[in-house]
Amino acid sequence: MRPPIRQLRHLGLGLLLLLAMSACGGGGGGNPQPPDKLTLTVEVEQPGGSAGAGVAVLLGLSLKFTNAQGVAQFTDLTAGSYSISAQLPDGTFVSENFTLSSQAQSLQLMPGSVPAAAVSAVTPFMGSAAELDATIRLATDTLLDADSLDEEDFSVTPDIGPLRLELSDGGTDILITPLLQLSPAQTYVFDYSGVISSSAGAPLLKPLHFLLRSAATDQAAPRLLSTTPGEGASAFPVNRPVVFSYNELLDPDSAVQVSASPEAELETVISGRNLSIRAIGNWALQTDYSLSVTGLSDLAGNLRGASDSLSFRTGSEAAPVTNQQPDWNRVTDSIVFSSDQAGSFDIWAIDSDGANLRQLTFDAGDETSPSLSSDGALLCWQARGAAGDQDIFVADVSDGDASDGQAVTGGPFNDRQPVFSRTFSRSIFFVSERSNPASVYSIDSAGGSLTALDFNFASGQADPAPHPLLDTQLLFTSGRSGSNDVWRMLRSVIDNEVIDTNLTDDLLAQDSQPDWLADASGYVYISNRSGVDNLWLGDFSGGLERQVSNFELNASSPSVSPFTGEALCALSLASPEGGRNIVIIELVGGSIVSNLTGGGA
């Protein structure tokens, strides 16, 4: 007779899991031995006999199904604490913690006989192929407190982003909806670690450990997540685009139709998960608008059958727009920059002659510090990563779309200010807080070969600017000498020895944000020596330092034309009306040649 640890009865339904362990290994001698590998045999029984085949048994991250004799087996285990769950094909569910040791033991789990303050059933079944937009239902037999629900109550491996939690069935069941569509053919393991409680204040019992398997193919239409502005919003800036955000990537060639009342001439752009709708010539002032959207499809061709609508009222003025951090690419002769013209900061591009303005990223958060690879095919930028810190992202933009961007660095460190090498190496230089103080690192575009370039500098570094021809030379900013100065880094290709030289050693000024001239004969930088942040020019002999611009408002982020002999530089320049514009100025006289984002010189 097997001595049960727990005996729970409900409707005569029970599962008996017999844990029979065998250890292999051993050996003598004084050397440390590897831990014993254990085999766990789980025999599932109900009152009256075996439960038979098809009972799902989840141990840690491994899911097994019982055979015709009601047995599932797990191998190559080590002693320790585990969560184990069992689920009958009808969804009835139970979850327990137990400790696996080298001693024989038994554990009795009984789905259908759990206390009221525990999850007694899970849908969809742990072994089924759930739709990619599936909602998970956790059933209990007690009235729950809706105010105790929080998306942080559950952790998911691998991470699937934000969750929406709500109650149903009169308040006894929890619905978990991933806001973003699941990846195809992926296994996700959910663990409850929160503080959900009943209406009487009793906590929802732990553990709660279950698994979801997503379908291999996408048969779910896109689902609308949010709009910017929100429904019924007022005082919406007349120069901002309206954005409809969905739970999955959209087909950029969707036959989308947008109607507006009152009528307006509209421009639509589909990128990533977002549909952006811009009124050509701006929305009318203080006007009530209603928009209707139809015809959107996802990349698998699933058409969203419902129409999506939005009503809002515009305000009496345009919002100031901040356009910043230009990066001028030689192959495409285009400039990428960061702009909040669509609400949050996104990455935009424009040809150097002011034509072909286009938006490259559409995420709800801020994407900043863009840079193009020397061939113009890859884009990197800085954005908030899955761990909440700032990471470096890379996307192929040869098709004009950065929606497939992937993080190439990860938490818990902040990684900032990425810039591609100007050679064909596709190295990315960036500043990371993984060292203290923050230092310049390099990494390849796939996230490999992470290298600290100057680990012994012993002072904070910022604003990396790679040499136009060599990956072994870099300009950067540091306050090591008492004020911010522009420094030059030379790295030996033989032994990686680093020589650092302060190029602008002036305690009375703040010098930063350097960039090389196209032929590497000199450099530009931003300095406040005149009382306002303006563009200055220097050479490496120290014999020439000259103020190039004389703006009354601050300039920032110089990016010199990559074409030798042009003597032009793109800047972000503060506007008297607020915000900032991307301008191109002459390096000889300092005058503005063109205002790329402000409508004129």
The stretch 271-288 carries a mean pLDDT of 90
Chain mean pLDDT for the chain = 88
Q: In the Cβ-directed half-sphere of 55, how many Cα atoms lie within 13 Å?
A: 34
Helices (H), 51-190: none
Confidence band for 49, pLDDT divided at 50, 70 and 90: low
Structure tokens at 511: 């010098």
Are 533 and 554 within 8 A, CB to CB?
yes
Q: What is the pLDDT of residues 2-40, one digit of tens each?
A: 333 223 223 233 445 555 544 444 444 556 666 678 888
Both tokens of 310, joined, read 């939005």
Residues 185-193: what's their mean pLDDT?
94
Query: To the nearest whole percent, how much of the chain has pLDDT over 90?
Result: 65
Identify the pLDDT of residue 107. 53
Instruction: Tell me, rounded to whole angstroms, the distance of Cα 552 from its chain centroid.
Output: 38
Assigned CATH class of 323-595: mainly beta
pLDDT at 542 over 80: no
- Phi then psi for 169, rounded to 5 degrees? 55, 45
Fold of 224-314: Immunoglobulin-like (2.60.40)
Q: Does residue 105 carry a pLDDT above 90?
A: no
Residue tagged 């503005």 (tokens): 592
pLDDT value for 9: 28
pLDDT exceeds cutoff 80 at 592: yes
Domain ranges in the chain are 15-109, 121-214, 224-314, 323-595
132-163 residue pLDDT tens: 999 999 999 999 999 999 988 999 999 888 89
Q: Which of 18-22, 115-119, 220-224 has the lowest mean pLDDT?
A: 18-22
Model pLDDT, residue 103? 58
First to last CA, the chain: 91
Given this model, what pLDDT does residue 397 score?
Answer: 93
Question: Does position 320 have pLDDT exceeding 80, yes or no?
Answer: yes
Longest distance between any two alpha carbons in the chain, whole Å: 96
CB-side neighbour CA atoms (13 Å) of 523: 30
Identify the pLDDT of residue 538.
Answer: 94
Let me know if domain 121-214 sits in CATH 2.60.40.1220. Answer: yes
Q: Judge whether residue 375 has pLDDT over 60.
A: yes
What residues contact residue 121 under an 8 Å CB cut-off, 6+ apart?
90, 91, 92, 93, 137, 138, 139
> 148 phi and psi, to 5 degrees?
-90, -5
For domain 15-109, give its CATH number from 2.60.40, 3.40.50, 3.30.310, 3.90.550: 2.60.40
Residues contacting residue 562 through CB under 8 Å, at least 6 positions apart: 328, 329, 330, 422, 468, 518
Confidence of residue 496 (pLDDT cuts 50, 70, 90): confident
Both tokens assigned to 135: 């909602």
Domains 121-214 and 224-314 fall in the same CATH topology:
yes
Q: What percent of the chain has pLDDT over 70?
A: 90
Residue located via tokens 């009169």: 170
Cα–Cα distance list, 511 to 12, 164, 300, 354 (Å): 78, 47, 51, 29
Q: Is 379 exposed, middle or buried (0-12, 13-18, 19+ CB in 10 A)?
A: buried
Residue 601, pLDDT score: 44
Kindly indicate the confidence band of residue 322, based on its pLDDT and cuts at 50, 70 and 90: very high
* In the predicted structure, residue 498 carries a pLDDT above the cut 80: yes
Neighbours of 270 (CB within 10 A): 22
pLDDT of residue 163: 93
